[in-house]
Amino acid sequence: MIFYFTGTGNSLYVACEIAEAQGDKLYSIAALMNNNESIYHFELDDKELLGFIFPVYAWAPPKIVLEFINKLEIIVKPAADNDNKDIKLKPYIFYISTCGDEEGNTEIVIRRALAKKGLLLDSSFSIRMPNNYILGFDVDTKEIVEKKLKDAELMLKDINKAIGKRQKNIKMNIPGRLPTLKTSLINPFFNRFALNTKYFTVNDGCTGCQICEEICPLHSIKINDSGKPVWSKDCTQCLGCFHRCPVNAIQYGKKSEKKGRYHHPDIDTLERRIKEVQNNR
Ligand SMILES: Cc1cc2nc3c(=O)[nH]c(=O)nc-3n(C[C@H](O)[C@H](O)[C@H](O)COP(=O)(O)O)c2cc1C
């Protein structure tokens, strides 16, 4: 059982690669959270996986991911071929973060969030992938994007091997410099002041294609009577609308016009594949 959140497809790509190699099911955290349940109840057996895959936002997991974990109730049952009824039942629990550069103390934050639900994190992994954060930065150059995607593919092979063997205590993390300062001091500011839509605008280039409305994980975008997107308040800052507008008509603040756009090259195919699997469930 693998739960994922994504804005521009990096984490979706990783989630699909892991689910396919491990023969496991994927669940979208955004889709589940849109149901607004107070508890998300899942049952799995002790041979199964419990995985979380998500991007890093301001040196921590996205708020929506932590809120989801907080609402999780996992019931573990013995696998059919488990005759040792004495051992404490526990699935193999891992997370994989995707980040442009560094994840700060994401490992500590996730470990604590899971511990509150009685879940012990077994191993953690972080993969550098193309950066989609454009405030104060820009997207990576074409060469860096290609290199990061190639390196990620190789790294995923190792991660899949480790997960397949249920290897514990692996900490393939990228905390970077001053992780405590960034995660404990800057991240709360980000969650308090940045999770809104007030800086999103659309210019005359908008064709009213509705892609932004369709892909917004929180369903915060509606196309108005003039065929232009209008944002409601809720936002995770995934920047999917900004990066995936086919005519670059969506802007974020004054400086974004000069910024590049990025989404994972296979995002459309991956999304289609996910929809097909879900329709067949
Ligand atoms: C709001 C926001 C904050 C981000 N903060 C960080 C960060 O603290 N460290 C980092 O290395 N990358 C950061 N990034 C980059 C993303 O983590 C990275 O590009 C990720 O792979 C995007 O995943 P996705 O395509 O699944 O949405 C940030 C991106 C966004 C949109």
Does 175 lie in the same domain as 87?
yes
Best mutation site among 99, 129, 135 for ligand 1, i.e. most ligand atoms within 8 A of its Cβ? 99
Domain membership flag for residue 104: yes
Final residue belonging to a domain, choices 131, 164, 190: 190
Does 235 lie in the same domain as 111?
no
Average pLDDT, integer, range 86-109: 92
User: In ligand 1, which atom is closest to the CA atom of 9?
Assistant: 25
Adjacent-strand bridge partners of 26: 2
Cα of 115 to ligand 1 centre, how many Å?
25
Residue 77 confidence (pLDDT): 85
Average pLDDT, integer, range 121-137: 95
Residue 7 has pLDDT above 70, yes or no: yes
Residue 87 has pLDDT above 70, yes or no: no
Average pLDDT, integer, range 176-183: 97
Does 204 lie in the same domain as 127?
no
Count of domains in the chain? 2
Read off the pTM.
0.96
Confidence of residue 130 (pLDDT cuts 50, 70, 90): very high
Residue 212 confidence (pLDDT): 98
Residue 33 confidence (pLDDT): 97
Best mutation site among 14, 54, 126, 132 for ligand 1, i.e. most ligand atoms within 8 A of its Cβ? 132
Does 111 lie in the same domain as 6?
yes
Final residue belonging to a domain, choices 155, 172, 190: 190
User: In ligand 1, which atom is closest to the CA atom of 5?
Assistant: 26
Does 71 lie in the same domain as 36?
yes
Structure tokens at 46: 């002790």
Q: Describe the crossing of helices 10-22 and 267-280 by its angle, rounded to 10 degrees.
A: 50
Cα of 44 to ligand 1 centre, how many Å?
30
Does 53 lie in the same domain as 186?
yes
Domain membership flag for residue 222: yes
pLDDT in tens, 25-66: 999 999 999 999 999 999 998 889 999 999 999 999 999 999
Domain membership flag for residue 140: yes
Cα of 128 to ligand 1 centre, how many Å?
10
Does 183 lie in the same domain as 63?
yes
Residue 78 confidence (pLDDT): 80
Cα of 55 to ligand 1 centre, how many Å?
5
Residue 45 confidence (pLDDT): 87
Residue 254 confidence (pLDDT): 84
Q: Which residues line ligand 1 (CB under 6 A)?
A: 6-12, 55-59, 98-102, 129-133, 237-239, 264
Domain membership flag for residue 117: yes
Structure tokens at 1: 């059982």
Query: Over pLDDT 90: what percentage of the chain?
Result: 87
Cα of 210 to ligand 1 centre, how many Å?
24
Tally the C-alpha atoms within 13 A of residue 129's C-alpha that lie toward its C-beta: 29
Residue 281 has pLDDT above 90, yes or no: no
Does 242 lie in the same domain as 142?
no
Cα of 83 to ligand 1 centre, how many Å?
44
Confidence of residue 280 (pLDDT cuts 50, 70, 90): confident
Average pLDDT, integer, range 107-119: 97
**Cα 209 vs. chain centroid, distance in angstroms?**
25
Residue 261 confidence (pLDDT): 97
CB atoms within 10 A of CB 141: 11
Residue 20 has pLDDT above 80, yes or no: yes
Nearest residue CA, atom 4 of ligand 1?
Answer: 57
Does 43 lie in the same domain as 92?
yes
Residue 86 confidence (pLDDT): 58
Range of the domain at 110: 2-190
Domain membership flag for residue 279: no
Residue 279 confidence (pLDDT): 74
Does 150 lie in the same domain as 98?
yes
Query: Over pLDDT 70: what percentage of the chain?
Result: 98
Residue 85 has pLDDT above 70, yes or no: no
Final residue belonging to a domain, choices 133, 162, 190: 190
- Domain CATH for 236: 3.30.70.20
